[in-house]
A and B are shown apart, each in its own frame.
Chain A
Amino acid sequence: MPFASEIISFTSPLFLSFAVLVILLYYTVFRKLQWQFLLVASALYYACTGWQNCVYIVITIGSVYAAARFFGTDRGRKGKRIVFWLCLALQIGMLAYLKYISDRFPLGISFYTLQSLSYLIDSYREPTAERIETNPGKLALFVAFFPQLTQGPMARYSELKKTLYGGHAFSADAFTGGLARAAFGFFKKMVIADALMPLARAYCHGPAQIAVALLLYAAALYCDFTGGIDIALGLAQMLGIALPENFNRPYLAKSVAEFWRRWHMTMGAWFRDYVFMPLSVSAPFLKLSSWSRKTFKNKLGKRLPVYIATLLTWLLTGAWHGGNAWFLLWGLANGLIILLSQELEPLYRKFHTRFPRLRENKLYGAFQVVRCFVIMSLIRGINLAGVGFTPELTPALAWPQWILITLALLLVIFYRPPKRRLWRVCAAGAFIVAVLVFGVYGFGYDSAAFMYSRF
């Protein structure tokens, strides 16, 4: 495996060695220059993906930094607006070109572009000293902090700066907490996701198998993505840095809208705050709103602009995930189901007025969870189609593997991070042993990339 592709994969020995070295040096040699050291480490990490990729991230950092500094000056509003739109167009244009047209796809560009855009938009909206970073190195670290670079979570500058640049003394509590979390992430990724993902993609011969495939895919995708996020959050925590949470038990959601408030939360929040909200109050939408109210005069007149904004937001979410039609369809399906659910709200209300005790009924709650899970699995089927079936593989798991995966999934469901330090260390040790024995890795194993690092 080439050096570059090995170091970028969280599960490669090279990355692990790199991470251990960074943590060691961070608290020892560079304890007085921690953020500067992290910047160098992140730059080194990114440079390993190819120097050409660095050009794009440097353009992003440089342009966003310059634009934000410009917003902080006394220049006129018009000039700032022009700079804002130019910078915005540059970021989106670069992302669109590299994602949909060019053969080159710089690692993490989808994530760092959105994160940079959030900084650009926030500093344009509120050009205060609090919002605008004067040190280009600090901004570069915010954009390129290596644990979150490949698959998020997407942080906001105002939140991340609280811990990213501060001097951190070694804290056994933070360290053991981070270690246990990262180890749990490796467990989910290497024991469950990497074993299930090939099965999910191969199990597509008939309706019954497709149902099984969707179930397996749901489990594999969850463990893959949350595993990667746990590793990122755990690493950051070991460095004393708090990254935002990205998941909140999404498969317990009772509706699609709730699911998206629990799954990839930082992405959902980004599209809500920087696409849906601005779109809804933008001049064209306000015009559309007044036109539709006049034209339709009923409830539809009020809702039409919201519907259009919702669908556009979800189309963009789909487009952000991938360039092909499957992802657009997937985004649209999410949007349509959320709108349908909103439309049916009066019906639900009527139903619940008739059966008022049902809301507290646990069985009904379970039904809602299962219903949402099924709907999301069906929507995800589109996503799975986008990723690609590989039925010719038809791998099989031996029964001990099924038992192992079932037990591992139960553990994932019921595991709660231990509060006591001693138990955290034990948990980390147990997860590491489990990964080393039961994980999918080693000779002949192509260190399967994390699903979300492709976006």
Chain B
Amino acid sequence: MKRVLQSIAILLAFFALLFAAQRLVTPKYMSDVYEGAMTKEYYGAPKQNELLILGDCEAYDNWSPVTLYNEFGITSYIRGGPELRVWQAYYLLKDTLRYEKPRAVLLNIRMMHNGENEEGQEPYNRLNLDGMRPSWDKWQAVQASMTEGESTLSYLFPLLRYHERWRELSAEDFQYFFRTEKVSFNGYFLRADTKPATVFPVGPKLADYRFSDLAWDYLERIRLLCEAEDIVLILAKPPTIWPYWYVQWEEQIADYAARHDLAYYNLLEDLEAAGIDWETDSYDAGLHLNVFGAEKCARYLGARLQAEFSFTDYRRNPAIAAYWDALTREYAALKAKQLSELAESGTIQTYTHGGG
């Protein structure tokens, strides 16, 4: 009996030590590269969303769910990640369906151009997939995304990927050992700084304007999954001007949307209606929108969604309203804090709800 207890104690100590080591060396994304914390953050949020927004930075920077709720009563969550691939979006959608079933999915289609097995893709894979809870969907997302040299095991046990961080551990790793702060507002990453877009790009000529077969394959999978689940699929192109959105790309997406009778919102072609002002609405000269631009986009989107699909107004639901009201207060507080920091020092210091 004593030996059995000893063995159990040793095994427990061994796994506790491994777990603690893994927890310590895994990046917390609390003072830089905040996007790395977004995928995981979804699991802690209430699962009551009628709209799911999927996409890369065009998703998490350009639509404000808080505005969508406050002005239209639409509950939404953005599951986006930097350089997200369409296949990752597909598995994030499947993962989401394990927790809730939204009424509509808004797919940001610029990510159709994000390629497969590209050099330098690995860090983005990690930012987007590390935070997924262990599941068959995660396994498949990893299989679809891995580049040469990566191993599936390291996604299940991040210690195998991040162990070398032991020599660069910082106070952040200890401070957020047990619990991290929220970096987004239902997937939206708030930035209140402004850098006007003064140059409008002309895209360099490409050898081939076709999206990859893999991207098309997964777009089709997303469409079929939505169809099977009775979810409305909407394609969207936010108004950001960088990277250049080619006419040839637009034609392919418009054709696809028409062929399958999907709604397609291209805000680039409706800038006036959206009210985007490039002097005030971008934080990096047109690549991403700041909070003012994101709120405008949300207003445009909310109006169209209500007009075309008549979403439920959840502002009348007290249980749901309580969550959104609290989120709105935090949103307003962070926005005000960033504006005050900008006024004082010209730069933003606070990006997370807790002020990190």
Chain A contacts to B: CB under 8 angstroms: 1, 13, 398, 400-401, 404, 422, 425-426, 429, 432-433, 436-444
Contacts and interface: CB of A to CB of B under 8 A. Distances in A.
Tell me whether chain A's interface is mostly helix, strand or loop, or mixed. helix
Given A13-B151, A443-B149, A443-B154, A433 B14 contact: yes
Contact of A398 (B10, B18, B25, B167): B167
B17 interface: yes
Given A437-B21, A437-B25, A400 B167 contact: yes
Q: A-B pairs with the 6 shortest C-beta distances? A: A400-B167, A429-B14, A437-B21, A437-B163, A398-B167, A433-B17
Given A429-B10, A429-B13, A443-B154, A437 B149 contact: no
A401 B160 CA distance: 18
A438 B14 contact: no
B13 A442 contact: no
Contact of A436 (B6, B18, B150): B18
Given A436-B18, A442-B164, 12 more contacts: A401-B167, A425-B10, A436-B21, A436-B159, A436-B160, A437-B163, A442-B161, A443-B149, A443-B150, A443-B151, A443-B154, A443-B161
Given A425-B10, A429-B13, A433-B18, A439 B122 contact: no
A145 to B, nearest CB: 28
A437 B166 CA distance: 7
Given A442-B164, A443-B122, A437 B153 contact: no
A400 B160 CA distance: 19
B149 A444 contact: yes
Contacts of B164: 440, 442
Contact of B10 (A1, A404, A426, A441): A426
Interface string B206-230: 0000000000000000000000000
A422 B6 CA distance: 8
B166 A438 contact: yes
Given A443-B149, A443-B154, A444-B149, A437 B167 contact: no
Interface string B138-182: 000000000001110110000111011011100000000000000
Contacts of B151: 13, 443
A1 to B, nearest CB: 8
A444 B150 CA distance: 8
B140 to A, nearest CB: 20
Interface of B: 6-7, 10, 13-14, 17-18, 21, 25, 122, 149-151, 153-154, 159-161, 163-164, 166-168
A1 B148 CA distance: 8
Given A422-B6, A426-B10, A437 B150 contact: no
B163 A438 contact: yes
Contacts of A426: 10
Nearest to A403: B167
A440 B161 CA distance: 11
A187 to B, nearest CB: 14
Tell me whether chain B's interface is mostly helix, strand or loop, or mixed. helix
**Residue of A422, A432, A433, A439 with most partner-chain B CB within 10 A:** A433
Contacts of A442: 154, 160-161, 163-164
Nearest to B21: A437
B126 to A, nearest CB: 9
A438 B25 CA distance: 11
Nearest to A426: B10
Contacts of B153: 13
A346 to B, nearest CB: 54
Contacts of B10: 422, 425-426, 429
Contacts of A444: 149
B27 to A, nearest CB: 14
Nearest to B123: A443
B338 to A, nearest CB: 34
A438 B166 CA distance: 7
Contacts of A432: 14
A426 B163 CA distance: 21
Nearest to B150: A443
A302 to B, nearest CB: 59
Nearest to A429: B14
A433 B21 CA distance: 8
A70 B188 CA distance: 81
A439 B162 CA distance: 11
Contact of B163 (A404, A422, A439): A439
A237 to B, nearest CB: 20
A439 B166 CA distance: 10
Contacts of B150: 443
B11 to A, nearest CB: 8
**Residue of B18, B163, B166 with most partner-chain A CB within 10 A:** B163
Contacts of B21: 433, 436-437
B13 A437 contact: no
A19 to B, nearest CB: 16
Nearest to B151: A13
B117 to A, nearest CB: 14
A80 to B, nearest CB: 54
Contacts of A404: 167
A404 to B, nearest CB: 8
Nearest to B148: A1
A326 B167 CA distance: 37
A398 B164 CA distance: 12
Contacts of B161: 442-443
**Residue of A425, A443, A444 with most partner-chain B CB within 10 A:** A443
A425 B164 CA distance: 25
A1 B160 CA distance: 17
Contacts of B167: 398, 400-401, 404
20 contacts: A1-B149, A400-B166, A400-B167, A401-B167, A404-B167, A422-B6, A425-B7, A426-B10, A429-B17, A433-B18, A433-B21, A436-B159, A436-B163, A437-B166, A438-B163, A439-B163, A441-B163, A443-B151, A443-B154, A443-B161
A6 to B, nearest CB: 10
B220 to A, nearest CB: 31
A422 B18 CA distance: 19
A443 to B, nearest CB: 6
Contacts of B6: 422
A13 B161 CA distance: 13
A425 B6 CA distance: 11
B91 to A, nearest CB: 21
B7 to A, nearest CB: 8
A14 to B, nearest CB: 10
Nearest to B165: A437
Contacts of B159: 436-437
Contacts of A441: 160, 163
A113 B25 CA distance: 46
A224 B17 CA distance: 26
Nearest to B169: A400
A8 B231 CA distance: 50
A444 B164 CA distance: 12
A404 B167 CA distance: 10
A410 B219 CA distance: 57
Contacts of A443: 122, 149-151, 154, 161
Contacts of A401: 167
Contacts of B7: 425
